[in-house]
Amino acid sequence: MNANTTGVPAGTKLTAQTGVITIKTDGTVIDAIDLKGSIKVEANNVTIKNSRIRGQGSIKIGLINVKDGYKGLKVVDTEIFSEVRNPDANGIMGGNFVLERVNIHDVVDQVHVTTVGNVEILHSWLHSNVHYTNDPNWNGGPSHDDNIQIIGGNNFLVKSSRIEGAYNAAIMVGQNHAPVKNLRIEDNLIGGGTCSINIAPKGYGDMGGNGNSITGNTFTPTQTKYARCAVISAAASVPAMLNNFWSDTGEAVKRTNGA
């Protein structure tokens, strides 16, 4: 996955728009816009395609936000980024959505999934996170930027994507607000993060029997803190792991034991 295979297809003519678009009509299709602003989704079965969403400097949430209770959002062949470096801007936030051939960059978290789940990320490129050594949102400590952050929910698929460039984690799985179940991470190229995939059970119990799996992925040795730490989890929260290898040596990935 790269700029040629994700984002707006070459030759697409875009119509410029500015501001916040709030979608409240089921079945709405947003096609071929260049938006300096953000989108709020408050309807079912919305499609955003062939578009560029570039947040303004004042954005303090996701450039696309899916309100709880709405389903069926599809974002296809779209680029999402913040034009102005901003510690508050994320890519897409919420749940019940599909991303396909999407290029998300220059935000803190490209994908921030709430407690709903039902998310698919396919053939996409998540990269170039915004990171601050002294982040005001972390009391002057470093940013906790992730390519994908999951704080609860059921039914996730991350497949055939390129995920890199985050300081904290490529995929941060933390049960902050609900259990995480049926997460499948398959056939991706993954790098970055202190450890690339961090599975932290937190307050909702061990995750070992929750149907979570990491299969067929290639990891690059680009971790920001712990060398060759591809997957870290507590012993009681180990996901099913099969056919995951390092890009440079071809050796099988081993899980790192965490708290």
224 part of a folded domain: no
Task: Note whether residue 181 is domain-resident.
Answer: yes
Contact 130, 136 (CB under 8 A): no
Give the domain CATH number at 69: 2.160.20.10
pLDDT at 92: 98
Give the whole-angstrom CA distance, residue 124 versus residue 103: 6
**Rounded distance between C-alpha atoms, residue 31 and residue 27, angstroms:** 13
Considering the domain boundaries, does residue 255 fall inside one? Answer: no
Classify residue 216: in a domain, yes or no: no
When pLDDT is averaged across residues 69-83 and rounded to a whole number, the result is: 97
Residue 242 included in any domain: no
- Rounded mean pLDDT, 199-205: 82
> When comparing pLDDT for 156 and 175, which is higher?
156
Q: Is the pLDDT of residue 202 over 90?
A: no
Q: What angle do CA 237, 243, 6 make, to 5 degrees?
A: 95
Query: Which two structure tokens, joined as six digits, stand for 203?
Result: 């307050």
Q: Is residue 231 part of a domain?
A: no
Question: Which of 99-113, 131-145, 201-215, 224-238 is modeled with the greatest confidence?
Answer: 99-113
What are the Cα distances from residue 22, in Å, to 40, 67, 84, 118, 213? 5, 11, 22, 22, 36
pLDDT at 244: 99
* Token couple for 201: 């059970």
Residue 140 has pLDDT above 80, yes or no: yes
- The b/e string for 67-103 (b: 16+ C-beta within 10 A; e otherwise) is eeebebbbbbbbbbbbeeebbbbbbbbbbbbbbbbbb
Using CA atoms, how far apart are residues 135 and 131, in angstroms rounded to an integer? 8
The pLDDT of residue 136 is 86
Q: What value does the mean pLDDT take over residues 197-223?
A: 90
Confidence of residue 160 (pLDDT cuts 50, 70, 90): very high
130-139 as b/e: b if 16+ CB within 10 A: bbbeebeeee
> Domain of 48?
15-206
Q: Output the pLDDT for position 259.
A: 64
> pLDDT value at position 236?
86
Reported pTM = 0.96
Q: Is residue 53 part of a domain?
A: yes
Q: Is 8 exposed, middle or buried (CB count within 10 Å of its CB: 0-12, 13-18, 19+)?
A: buried
Count how many domains the chain has: 1
Q: Which of 60-69, 80-89, 153-162, 175-184 has the highest mean pLDDT?
A: 153-162
How far is Cα 207 from Cα 238, in angstroms, rounded to an integer? 7
Q: Is residue 238 part of a domain?
A: no
